[in-house]
Structure 1
Amino acid sequence: MKRLFGLIGLTYLSVLAVVFNLYSRLTFILIFAGSFVLAGIWIVLLILKKKKNVRRVLAIVSITALCASFVMILYTNYYYNPIIDKYSSKEVSINGFICDEIVKSENYAKYTIQTDTINGEDVHLKIQFNSYADLNIAEFNNISLHCVMYEADSNSLVSDGIFFKTYVDDTFNIEQVGDKHFSLYSFAVEARKAMKSSLQTLLPSDYSSMCSAVLLGDKLSLPRNVLNSFTNTGSSFLIVVSGMHMAVIASVGLFLIKKFTRNKIIHLIAVSFFVISFMAVTGFAPSVVRSGIMIIIYYSAAVFFRTSDAVNSLGIAALFLLLPNPYAVGDVGLVLSFSATLGIILWSGKMYDYIISKLEIKSKLLKALLRLVTASLSASVCVVPFSAIYFERISPLVLFVSVLVTFAVEGLIVCSLFASLIYLVPFVSYLAYPFALVCGLLSKYIIFVVGLFADIPYSSVNSDKPYFYVWIVVSIILVIIGYLIKVRGRYVAIAVALSFLTLVTGRVTYMLVTENEVTATVYCTGNGMMVAVGSSDNISLLCCGGNAGSTERVLDDIADDYNAVDFLIIPDQKYKYSRYQFELISEFDCSNVLVYDNGSTDFQMLSDYDGKVRQSFGNDVCFTLQLSKNVTDTVLCIDDVVYQLLRSNASTMLVMPSGADISVLPDEFRNIDYAVIDSIPTNYNMINCKYLIYSNTVSDFKENYNSLSEICDDVTNTSESNVIIDFKEVSLCQR
C-alpha cells in the first residue's frame, strides 16, 4: 500500500482528537460500532473477492480506530486519572527545578516546574503557576515548593504534559535550593532569550514583539490590540511557528551549507541539526515537531535515492507525536497544523495545475502569486471547520489576509533570524542593523494590513450563533446550484453577493433581536462567588472569587465573547470574592475597578498593582452604576457588608456576601426576583424572592438546604455547573 503510514497516522490522529474532546461512553460505542461496520464490509468484500485496495483501507482504518480508542482509555484510566486523584486539591511539598523559560508579560511571570519528588516520593510531573511579584528565581534553578496542586483544566497545558497548576496563596512558599539543574535544553532556552534580547535592543517594542512572535512563537509579548486583530481575521496561524517557518529555516541552512559541500549526507546532517535546534529553541511545540519530522524525512529520502511521500511523512509525524503522549492531540495548534498541511498536500498542486492549464499563465510573478493563493485557499478550507469548532468563530477574510501577508511573514522570519543571531557576534554586530531595518518595515506592514482587515465589519463571524448556520446552508445550496447548472462568470458573482447578503442580514437581525438581552452568570467556583452581567457588547463582574482550580475555566468562558470588562467590582478582599482579580486585570482591559476598602493592607497591593489608581469606596455609602443600556447596579455598603441590587426593565437581582443582614436593607432590596448568596444571611425570613442561587460547595449546600428552602421554594446551587439568569424572561438555567 503506497500511503500506509499516512492512513494509519491520520486515522490515529482523527480518532484520538474525537475521543479526547468528546470523552464519553457514547463516543466509544459509536467508534466501536463504526469499526465493526467497517469490519463487516471488509468480510463481505473478502468473500466476494472484490476491491482488494478498499479491503485493505477498511481493515487498517477499523483496526487503527479501535487501537486509538483503547490507547486513550488505558492512558486516561491507568495513568492520568490516578495521578489526578492522588494530588489534585492536595497540599504537597515538592522538590524540583524550573524546567523552561520564565515567560514574562507586562503584569506577571509564568513558571513551569518539573518535579523530582512530591512528599518525598520520586514523581516526575510538570506544574505551572503565575506570579505577580518577582520571585528572584531563574530558569533551571533547583527549588523547594510548598503549595496546593490543582488539576489543570486547559487542554493546551494537559497536551504539553502539564497536568497541574498551583497558585500564589497563603499555603504557597517557594525557595531556591542548591545549584542549577543541568539540561541540554537549557542551552536552547538561553539561545531563545538571547535572540529575544537582540530583537528588543534593535527594534521598538511593537516591532520586536512581532518579530519574536513570528520567529519564536512568543505571542504573549504582542500588544493586546495586535493579537486581537490576528484573532478576528482568523490569521493567528501566521504567528504560530509551524511548517512555513521550519521550511524557511531549513532552506536558509541548506543554502549556507551548499556553499561548502555538495555531499547529500552532510546536507542531511546539517539540515537535521538546524531543524532540531530550532525545534528546541521554540520549545518543541507540536506544530514545529510535525514540520521538523516531515522535513527530515524529505531530505532523508533524497540521500537514500527515494521519493518521499508527503502524506506518509505526515502520518509518521502524527505517530511520532501521539504514541508517547495521546493527550498531545489536545493541542489546538497541532490539529490545525495537520489539517492545513493535509489540505495543501491534497489540493494545492491540483488547483494550481488546473488554473495554469485553463488560463495559460506564463509570467513567473503570476505563477508565484498563484501558488501562494492556492496554498492559502487549500489550507483555509481544512482549517475553517476546526476554527469554527475550537474557537467558535471564523473569518471570511482570512484568504485575503494570507495572500497579502504571507510573503512578508516569510521575509520577516529570515530577517529576524539573521538580525537576532548576528547581533550576538562581537565585532560584526553592526551588520544586524540592515536586517533590523527590514524587520521594522515588514512588521509595520503586517500590523497595518491585519489591523485594516480586522476593522472591516464582519471580519469575524461567531459560529455559535444561529445566523452562522443559515449562512452555511445557503452558501452550500448556492454552490450545488452552480455545479448543477454549470454556469460561470455572472452566476459566481451573484452567488457570492447572495451569500454575503445572507450573512449581513442574519448578523443585523440577530443584533436587533438580542440588543436588549441581558444575562447574569453565577459561576461554579467552589467555595466562592463569581457573578458576571453581560449583554451583546459588554460585561461587568460584581465579584470574582472562588477556588484557584477554576481560574482557567472562568477566564476562558469570558474570553470566548469579550475582550474587555466594563466594571470589575471587589466587594470584599477575601479570596472568596477577589481570587481572580489579578488574572482578570492581566487578561482583559478593565475600564473601571471599584474596590471596597475596609482598611486591610491588601488594598494597597491592589492599588499599586499595575500603576493604575483604583477607585475605592467605604462603609455607609450608596451609589448606582450604569452597567449597560438597560441594567443598573445599586451598591449599598452597611456594617462592612456590600449589597448589590441589579435592575433591568423586567427583573431585579440581589447579590449578598457572607455576613449579610436582611433587616438593615430597605424594602426594594428585600423584594426581588433573584437572590445570590454564599451563606445563610441573618433574618433571612425577611427576604422575598422568586429564585434563590446558592454559590458554594456541594457539602455546604446539603448542610444548609433546609434553611435555604425556607427562604425560597426554588433553590439552585452552583456546586456542579454555572447558573445562567435571563433577565428578560425572568428565568434561569444551568450550564
Structure 2
Amino acid sequence: MFRPFALIGFIYLAVQAVSIYFGSGFAFLASGCFFLLFFLSLFVNKLRTAKVVPIACLVAAVALSVYAGYHVWKIEPLTELAEKDAVITGTLCELPYENNGKFYYTLRIDEIEIEGMEYPHNPGKIIMTTRNALDIEPYGSISGKVHLYQSFGSEDGFSVRQYDYSKRIHMRAYLYEYEGYSVSPTAEKPPYYYALSIRKTMMNSLDRLLPKEEAGIMKAVLLGDKTGLTDEIKSDFHAAGTYHLLVVSGLHMTIVFQGLLKLLKFCRIPHKLSCIITAFGVLSFMAITGFSPSVLRSGIMSLLFLAAMMFHRNPDSLNSLGIAVFLLCIINPYAAADFGFLLSVTSTLSLILLSKPIYRFFLDRTKRVKHGKVLLHSIFSSVSSSLAVTAGTLPLVIIAFVTFSVISFISNLLMIFPTTIMLPITALAALFESIPSLSIFAKPFALVGGLIAKYLIFVAHWIAKIPFALISADYEFIMLWLAMTMLLFAFAIFLSKRKMLVRTVLTLSSILLIAGIFSYQLSNRSTVRVSVLDVNDGISVVVTANRQTAIIGCNAYSDYTTYQYLKGHGIHNIDYLQPLSDEIIEYQNLAKLNENFQTKNFILPNGQYFTGDLEKSLEEAEKISYYEKSAKTILNDDVAIELHSDANGNYTVLIVKEIRILILSSEYDLAHIDLDLNDIDILITDTVPQSAEYLQSFITVLSMEEQSMADSVKRLDVGNVQLYATAGRGNLHIDVEGDRTIVLRRGSGG
C-alpha cells in the first residue's frame, strides 16, 4: 500500500474531528459500527488484499473508541466540579500572561478540597484568573480559594470548552483574592522549567533592546508570544492575511532545521553528528516556544526527516505528516478541536500537494523567457507556495473566522522572505543581550531586526487599508457554497483528468460566490441589522441600514473587535458615532475608530473637552454634535437614535422599524427612568440594571464575558424573557425586517 502512514494519520484526524463535533454518544455507536466493518472487510478477499478499507475502518474505530473512552474517564467527572468553590494547591506550569486587564495562570492541580465532597475529581490543569498580578515564578506553588467553572460551550461541537480540552485545560477558575492566598517559591525544576526560563529571558532581552511595537513583532515571530502586540497590529496582519507569521509554525521550524544543518555542514561536522545536534536544536526550539500543536507537528516532521537522513533513506513528506498527525491525535483525543492545529496540517498538506503543480503552471507559461529566469523562478516559488496555502486553508479560514483576505498572496509575497531573515537575527539579538559579557553584540542585530519589524508593520498596515482587503463570509449561504464547491472540485479531480474541467469549476464557483453575495445584499436591502459585538465586558453596537452605519458605544478594553467587524464588512464611513459612558478608554477607542474611518457625525455630551491625541482625532470628524440632557438623531427612514443623560446615568433608545431597543452600559436604576418600559422590546446591557423587575422586554442580550454572564443570570429574573449573550461565542446579530419581524443570528468575532 502506497503511503500507509499518510492514510492512517489523515483518517484519524478526520474521524477525531467528527467525533468532537457529534459527541461521545455518537462516538460509542460509530466505533462499534466501524469495528464490525473492519471484521467484515477481512472476509472479502479483494478488500483484504488491497488493505486500504480494513486499515481505514480499524483506524476510524480506534479513533472513535479513544475519544469516547477519554470523554467518559476524564471529561464527564468534571461536571460535578462546575460552579463549586474549592481550596486548591497548584503549580504554575506555563508563563503567566495579561489580557484585557486580567492575569491568567495555567496551574497543575496538586491538591483540591471541596466542601461536601470526600474525594473530588482532580481536574488536572486549569486556567486561573486574577485581577492583580501574582508574584510567582514558573513551577512555583499557589494555595488559595477559587471558584471553578467550565468554559462556555457544550460537550459536543466546536466551542471554547473544546478548545480548552485540546490544550489539556479541563476547568477554569477565578481566585478569591480578598480571602487570602499563599505563594511558595519554586521547589521542582524539571527540564521544561529551564525552557520557560530561557523563553522569559529572551522576551525580557528584546523588550530592553527595542521599542514596544518592534519588540512585540520580534517576540511573536521568534517565540509565538503575542502579548506585546497592539490590537491595531493584530488587526492589520489579520486583514493582510499574514497573521500566521506571528504564530510559530512550520515556516519557523524549517528555518531552524535548515539553518542548523547548513551551519554544521559549514563547520564540517560529521553527517550523523550534525543530525543529532540538529535534532537536539529542534527539540529545544519546541520547548522554548511552548510545545504548541503547530510546533509539535512541524517538529515531529523535522525529526523524522533527520532520522531518514541519518540512515540514508529518502524522506516522504506525506508519510511524515501522517505520522506526526497520528501521534498528536492519539496522545490528545481533543487535538482536532484546535483550529490552529487543523490550519497547520492543512497548510502543510496544501504545500505538499499543490505548490509544485502551481509552480509548473507558471514555468510552462514562461518557457520562452530568456533573461531573468533565476529571479522569475524565485518569484514563482514564493507565489506558488502562497497560493497553495491560501487555497488549501480557505475552507477552514471561512469556517473558523468568517472573514478572509482576498490579497493574502500579495502580502505573503512581500512579507515571508523578510520574516525568514528576521528570525535568526532576532534569536542572535536576544541571545547576546541575555549574556552580559556579550550584550554589546546584540545591538547591531537588534537594529536590523527592528528595521525589518518596522517594514512588516508598515506593509501590513498599508495592505489592510486597501478597500475590501478583508471580506466577510458572514452570510447564511456561504457554508452551502463552500460544501458544493469542494464537492464539485472532488468530482472534477477524481472523475476527469482534463484540466479544463477543474478550471470550469473554479470559474463557476467564483461566479456563484459573487452572485450569491450580490443577491443576498439585494434581498436584504430593506433589513436593518443591529450587531452586538463580542467585546467581553462592555458594549459596542453597530447598526447598518440602507448603506449607513451607526456605532453606539465602544465601551470595551480596546477597539479591536469593532475595527475588525467594520473592515470585514467593507464599511469605510461611520455616519453616527456615540459613546455610552464617560470613561476615558471608551473615548480613546472611539478616537481610534474616527482615525481609521471617516466619521460624519460624532455625538458628545456638552462640556466634554479633550487634549492631545484625542483632540486631534476629533478634528478629523466632519461634524461634532453636542447635547445637554438628551438628543435625537434620525439616521434614515428606518432608524432613529435617542440618547438620554440624567443623575442616574446614561441610556440610549434605538428605534428600528417600530422596534424599540434599550441600550444600558451601567447599573442604571430602572425605577427612576423617564421612559415607558412597557414599550421596550429588546434590552442590550453589559450589567444587570437596578430594579430589573420593572422591565419585561421580549429579548435580553447580555454583552459580557462568560463568567460575568453566569453571575448575571443568577441576579436576573428571567421569567418569559428570551435571554442571549455574547460570552465569547461571537457577535450577535438582530435583523429587523418589515412588520416587526425579528431574526437573531450568531456571527463571529469578525
Please report the TM-score for the alignment, with normalisation by the length of structure 2. 0.75
Give the equivalent residue in structure 2 for 1:647: 655
1:659 and 1:365 mapped to 2: Cα distance? 66
Deviation digits for residues 18-64 of structure 1 (CA, Å, limit 9, x no counterpart): 32244375687788778878987x579x35x47943xx222222221
Partner of 1:518: 529
For structure 2, the residue ranges without an aligned partner over 5 or more in a row are: 153-159, 569-573, 595-601, 606-613, 616-627, 703-708
Match of 2:466 in 1: 456
Are 2:203 and 2:430, in contact at CA under 8 Å, matched by a contact in 1?
yes
CA displacement, residues 488-527 of structure 1 (integer Å, 9 cap, x when unaligned): 9xx999x98995897499469729945861336699x9xx
Equivalent runs, 1:22-33 vs 2, <5 Å: 22-23=22-23
Residue 172 of structure 1 and its aligned partner are, at CA, apart by: 6.4
> Do the aligned partners of 1:88 and 1:151 also contact (CA within 8 Å) in 2?
yes
Q: Secondary structure at the match of 1:135?
A: coil
- After TM superposition, give the deviation of residue 209 of structure 1 in Å: 1.2
Secondary structure of the structure 2 residue equivalent to 1:301:
helix
Specify the code of the residue in structure 2 equivalent to 1:91. D
Give the Cα–Cα distance (whole angstroms) in 2 for the partners of residues 169 and 454 of structure 1.
42
Counterpart in the other structure of 1:310: 317
Measured in 2, the distance between the counterparts of 1:182 and 1:125 equals 19
Distance 1:434 1:236, change over 3 A: same
User: What CA distance in whole angstroms lies between the structure 2 residues aligned with 1:356 and 1:99?
Assistant: 51
Distance in 2 (CA, whole Å) between partners of 1:562 and 1:485 is 43
> What is the deviation of 1:487?
11
One-letter identity of the residue aligned with 1:375: S
- The equivalent of 2:641 in structure 1 is 632
Match of 2:3 in 1: 3
- Residue number among 206, 216, 219 corresponding to 1:209 in the alignment: 216
Alignment of structure 1 residues 458-473 onto 2, 5 Å = 458-465=468-475
Instruction: Between 671-680 and 641-650, report the one with greater CA deviation.
Output: 671-680
| Residue among 529, 535, 539 paired with 2:543 | 535
1:716 aligned residue (714, 722, 728):
722
Give the C-alpha shift of residue 5 in structure 1. Answer: 1.6
1:25 to 1:143, Cα distance in 2 relative to 1, 3 A: closer
CA distance in 2, matches of 1:560, 1:27: 37
Give the letter aligned to residue 112 of structure 1: T
Deviations along 1:248-283, one digit per CA (max 9) or x if unpaired, are 112222233234444232112201110011111100
Which of 376, 399, 410 matches 2:420? 410
Q: Distance in 2 between matches of 1:303 and 1:447?
A: 41
Q: Residues 391 and 247 of structure 1: is their aligned pair in 2 closer, same or farther, counting only changes over 3 Å?
A: same
Q: 1:478 to 1:96 in 2, by over 3 A?
A: closer
Give the Å deviation of 1:171: 6.5
Cα 1:648/1:145, change in 2 over 3 Å: same
**Residue 19 of structure 1 corresponds to which residue in structure 2?**
19
Give the structure 2 partner of residue 578 of structure 1.
none
SS of 1:258's equivalent in the other structure is: helix
The answer to whether 1:386 aligns with 2:396 is yes
Query: Can you give the 5+ residue segments of structure 1 that lack an aligned partner in the other structure?
Result: 545-550, 574-580, 596-610, 613-620, 710-714
1:143 maps onto 2:142 in alignment: yes
The aligned residue for residue 91 of structure 1 is 85
Quick one: distance in 1 between partners of 2:341 and 2:693? 56
Q: 2: distance between equivalents of 1:275 and 1:269?
A: 10
Give the match's secondary structure for 2:698.
strand
Distance 1:358 1:702, change over 3 A: closer
Match of residue 326, structure 2, among 300, 312, 319: 319
Of stretches 433-442 and 184-193 in structure 1, the one that deviates more from structure 2 is: 433-442
Opposite residue 454 of structure 2, the aligned amino acid is K
Alignment of 1:510-659 (within 5 A): 510=521, 513=524, 517-519=528-530, 533-536=541-544, 540=552, 561=565, 569=580, 622-624=629-631, 630-635=639-644, 645-654=653-662
* Identity of matched residues, %: 24
- 3-state SS of the aligned residue for 1:218? coil
Is residue 137–residue 186 contact of structure 2 (8 Å, CA) maintained in 1?
Answer: no
Secondary structure of 1:140's aligned partner: coil
State the shift of 1:67 in Å. 1.7
Between stretches 129-138 and 182-191, larger displacement belongs to 129-138
Name the residue aligned to 2:610.
Answer: none
Question: How many angstroms does 1:148 deviate by?
Answer: 0.2
- Give the TM-score normalised by structure 1: 0.76
Q: Tell me, in whole angstroms, the C-alpha distance in 2 between the residues paired with 1:22 and 1:115.
A: 30
Quickly say closer, same or farther: Cα 1:438–1:321, change in 2 above 3 A: same
The residue number in structure 1 matching 2:608 is none
In the other structure, the counterpart of 1:671 is 679
Opposite residue 650 of structure 1, the aligned amino acid is E
Q: Aligned partners of 2:411, 2:12: CA distance in 1, in Å?
A: 32
Tell me which residue corresponds to 1:291.
298
C-alpha deviation, 1:331, in angstroms: 1.6
Tell me the alpha carbon deviations over residues 574-599 of structure 1, each in whole angstroms, 9 at most, x when there is no partner.
xxxxxxx999999997999999xxxx
1:298 shift after superposition: 0.5
User: Could you tell me how far apart the structure 2 residues matched to 1:627 and 1:71 are?
Assistant: 59
1:72 matches 2:71: no
Between stretches 145-154 and 648-657, larger displacement belongs to 648-657
> In the alignment, what sits opposite 2:53?
58
1:194-218 per-position Cα deviation (integer Å, ceiling 9, x unaligned): 2222222332222221111111111
Contact 1:211–1:439 under 8 Å retained in 2 = yes
- Whichever residue aligns with residue 716 of structure 1, its letter is Q
State the match for 2:105 in structure 1. Answer: 111
RMSD: 5.0
Q: Residue 691 of structure 1 corresponds to which residue in structure 2?
A: 698
More deviation in 308-317 or 350-359? 350-359
User: 1:703 and 1:422 mapped to 2: Cα distance?
Assistant: 57
Distance 1:720 1:368, change over 3 A: closer
SS of the equivalent of 1:166 reads strand
Describe how 1:107-256 pairs up with structure 2 within 5 A: 107-119=101-113, 123=122, 125-153=124-152, 154=160, 155-167=162-174, 173-256=180-263
What letter matches 2:449 in structure 1?
C
Cα distance in 1 between the residues matched to 2:408 and 2:395: 13
Task: Say if 1:30 and 1:531 are closer, same or farther in 2 by CA, change over 3 A.
Answer: farther
Q: Say yes or no: does 1:347 pair with 2:354.
A: yes
State yes or no: 1:337 paired with 2:332. no
Aligned counterpart in structure 2 of residue 278 of structure 1, from 275, 279, 285: 285
